[in-house]
Amino acid sequence: MEIVQAFETSFGAKPEVVAQAPGRVNLIGEHIDYSQGFVLPFAIDAVTRSAIRKRDDGQIRIVSAQHPEAMIRSSISELREKGGTGWSRYILGVLWALEIENGLDIYVDGRVPLGAGLSSSAALECSVATAINHLFELGKSLTQLAQLTQRAENQYVGVPCGIMDQSVSLMAKGGYALLLDCRDLSTQHIPVDFAGAGLRLLIVDTRADHALIDGGYAERRASCESAAAKLGVVSMRDLDMQHLESQKDKLTAVEFQRARHAVSEIARVLNAVERLRTKQFVEFGELLNQSHISLRDDYKVSCPELDLVVDTANANGALGARMVGGGFGGSAIALIKDEDAGKISLAIEKAFAEAGYQAPRFFDSLPSDGAKLIS
C-alpha cells in the first residue's frame, strides 16, 4: 500500500495501524447541528488516510503526503498548550482530546479537496481518531469519537463547529445518507438512489474563500443561542414556526431571521427524508432550493459565487440546488438529470468566467462509507 511505503520512507519502520475517513456533503440541514436540529449528510468518496506507529520517547513527528519535505515535530508535553497554526493542529487536537500520553510517528495523506467546504478537516481528525482508537485499544464508540473530535476542533483548533461533519465521516454507510438527530445523537441510514432515477448530485466548488474561522459562523451560532435564551427554550429544536412568529417582538430582527432559518430548515430535513424514501425527487429538489433561499436571505451565509452556481444550475434544468457547509464560499450541490451534466457544468463555467470569478471545480460522488481501518 502506497501509504505504508511512504510511512517507511519517512520514519524507517512500518506503521502499526492505517485508517481512513471521508469528507462529506450535506444534502440538507444546514447550520442547524449546533441548534440541536436534524442533518442529512453523506460521505463522499474522497478520503484522508493516516498511518501511525508508537514511539517510546514522547516525541510526535508528523509528515503529510501533501508536504513531504516538512516533518512537523512536537511532543506529548507540548500538547497541553493548545493552539499553534497550520494543518497539524487538527492532528495534535485529536491526540489532546483522546488524552494520548505516548510518542507517535504519523503520516497523513489527505485527498479531500482543501477549502472546498467538503470537510477535509473532519476527515483528517476522524482518520487519526480511528487509528488511535485501535492502536491504544481505547474502545470508544463512534458517537464518542464524534464528540471527541468535535472537542478537538472546538477547543484545540478554536473553530466553533457543530457535530455533523465528524459524525458523518465516522458513521456513514455507502449508498445511504446519515440522518443525525443532533439533540440525542441518534442516527438512521436513509437510502439515496439518485442514479436509479437517472439523476446525480453535482458538487461545485466555487473556490471562493471559506471563512469558517472568521466571525461569521460564530455570530450565527450566537444569534441562535441568544434567541433561544430570550424565548426560554434550550435550542431552536424546541420551537415551531407558529410559536416563533407569536414571540417575534421578544427578538431583534436579526435573531428572528436566524431563528426562522433554523426552525424552517429542521422541518425541511424531515420532509426531505420522506421525499427520499418515496423517491419524490422533484419535491426533494424543491426543498434544496428552499434551503438555499433561507440560507441566503435569512441566515445570510451564502455569497455571490454560491448564488451563481445555484441560479445557473436551476436555469439549466436542475431539480434543485443549494450551498453546503458553513458557507461564505466553498461548495454548492445541484440535483441534476444525468443527461444535463455536461450542459450544466458548461453553463456554470461560462457564468463564472463572465463574472470574472476563478474557474470552479466539479465533483460528483455517490454516498460512500465512513471511517475504517485498512491495515
Positions annotated as catalytic residues are: 165
Applying CB under 6 A, which of residues 325, 360, 367, 370 lies at the interface with ligand GLA?
325
Q: What one-character-per-residue DSSP string does 320-345 give?
A: EEEE-TT-SSSEEEEEEEGGGHHHHH
Closer to ligand GLA by CB, 27 or 92: give it.
27
Which part of the chain contacts ligand GLA (CB under 6 A), choosing from 133-141, 158-166, 233-241, 254-262? 158-166
- 26/275 Cα distance (integer angstroms): 16
**Interaction between residue 244 and ligand GLA (CB under 6 A):** no
Among 18, 17, 25, 67, smallest CA distance to 46 is for 25
Among 207, 166, 163, 173, smallest CA distance to 23 is for 166
Binding pattern for the stretch 57-96 against ligand GLA, x by CB under 6 A and - elsewhere: ----------------------------------------
DSSP alpha helix (H) spans, 152-280:
164-171, 215-231, 241-246, 253-277
3-class SS at 111?
A: coil
Least Å distance between CB 64 and ligand GLA? Answer: 21
Least Å distance between CB 268 and ligand GLA? Answer: 13
Burial 108-132 (b: 16+ CB within 10 A, else e): bbbbbbeebbbbbbbbbbbbbbbbb
**Interaction between residue 23 and ligand GLA (CB under 6 A):** no
Closer to ligand GLA by CB, 33 or 305: give it.
33
Closer to ligand GLA by CB, 239 or 324: give it.
324
Least Å distance between CB 163 and ligand GLA? Answer: 6
Are 191 and 322 contacting, i.e. CB atoms less than 8 angstroms apart?
no
- 263/290 Cα distance (integer angstroms): 13
Q: C-alpha distances in angstroms, 319 versus 49, 275, 283, 351?
A: 34, 13, 8, 19
Q: Tell me the site size for ligand GLA, rule CB under 6 A.
A: 10
Are 108 and 86 contacting, i.e. CB atoms less than 8 angstroms apart?
no
Closer to ligand GLA by CB, 28 or 63: give it.
28
Closer to ligand GLA by CB, 105 or 265: give it.
265
- 190/180 Cα distance (integer angstroms): 10
**Interaction between residue 162 and ligand GLA (CB under 6 A):** yes
Binding pattern for the stretch 118-157 against ligand GLA, x by CB under 6 A and - elsewhere: ----------------------------------------
Map the footprint of ligand GLA across residues 25-54, applying CB under 6 A.
Answer: 30-31, 33-34
Binding interface with ligand GLA (CB under 6 A): 30-31, 33-34, 161-162, 164-165, 325-326
